[in-house]
Amino acid sequence: MSNDNQNILGIYSYFDLFINSIKELRKKGFENIRAFSPFPNHEIENVLDTGREPSKIKYFTLFGAILGALVGASFTVLTSIDWPIVTSAKPIVSIPPYMIIIFECTVLIGGLSTFLGLIINSRLRKNVPPELYDERFSNDKFGILVNCPSSDIEQVENILKNYGSEEIKIDGASVIAEELVEPKEEKLDEGSTEEETTPDQEEKNED
């Protein structure tokens, strides 16, 4: 994280506005975006991953499977060579019976490698500073945290405002905090009436 970068946080009450904001930010080329939601939703993952390279977890799985197959083959072959058991005219090293152990090692190490890749790529240890998190994200609010250069702060702020952010914080300091207010109808006070004047009444008044 560059020292010239700033963090801007937008808080939302409505899921559709929250999703549309992320789409617009991704469209404008902002990469370092974190989303907060009180519940899991696959649509959030889809919009965050738009335009990004595919997950690298598959390479962990492939490497682990190859390593597992080599470990299984080495284990069985070297064991047979060190402790040879001669049975009739059968070969000491026989691959077909070893395929079960090779398969099991492939699945075992491949699965563990996949789990390791998931932990590394999920960045589970990437904690958010307390001032950049709002407890309402665990209740009924949605949040978008964008880390960007200081020169782009105004652009990000405008995007968040235009897409319905109720509150914006820059590096933990609140910028706007507007509540949605329903329009109220003007009511006349009790006892007050409006008198309508007709053309005839206006002529009488002039006389």
**pLDDT tens across 111-130, in order?**
999 999 988 887 665 667 77
Structure tokens at 90: 């059968």
CA distance 187 to 198: 24
CB 141 within 8 A of CB 38: yes
Segments in the chain below pLDDT 50: 1, 178-196
CA distance 140 to 156: 23
Within the chain, how many helices (H) and strands (E) appear?
6, 5
pLDDT of res. 142: 93
pLDDT of res. 123: 64
Beta bridge partners of 75: none
Domain residue extents for the chain: 5-54+132-177, 57-122
pLDDT of res. 126: 61
What sign has the CA pseudo-torsion 71, 73, 76, 79? negative
pLDDT of res. 206: 54
What's the maximum distance between 2 C-alpha atoms anywhere in the chain? 138
pLDDT of res. 31: 84
pLDDT of res. 176: 55
Share of the chain above pLDDT 90, in %: 33
pLDDT of res. 74: 94
Beta bridge partners of 79: none
Please give the CATH number for the structural domain made up of 5-54+132-177.
3.30.70.120
Structure tokens at 45: 């993952």
Instruction: Provide the whole-model pTM.
Output: 0.58
- Within 10 angstroms of residue 13's Cβ, the number of other Cβ atoms is 16
Alpha helices in 7-128 (DSSP H): 15-27, 42-48, 57-82, 95-122
Q: What's the residue count for the chain? A: 207
pLDDT of res. 190: 45
pLDDT of res. 51: 64
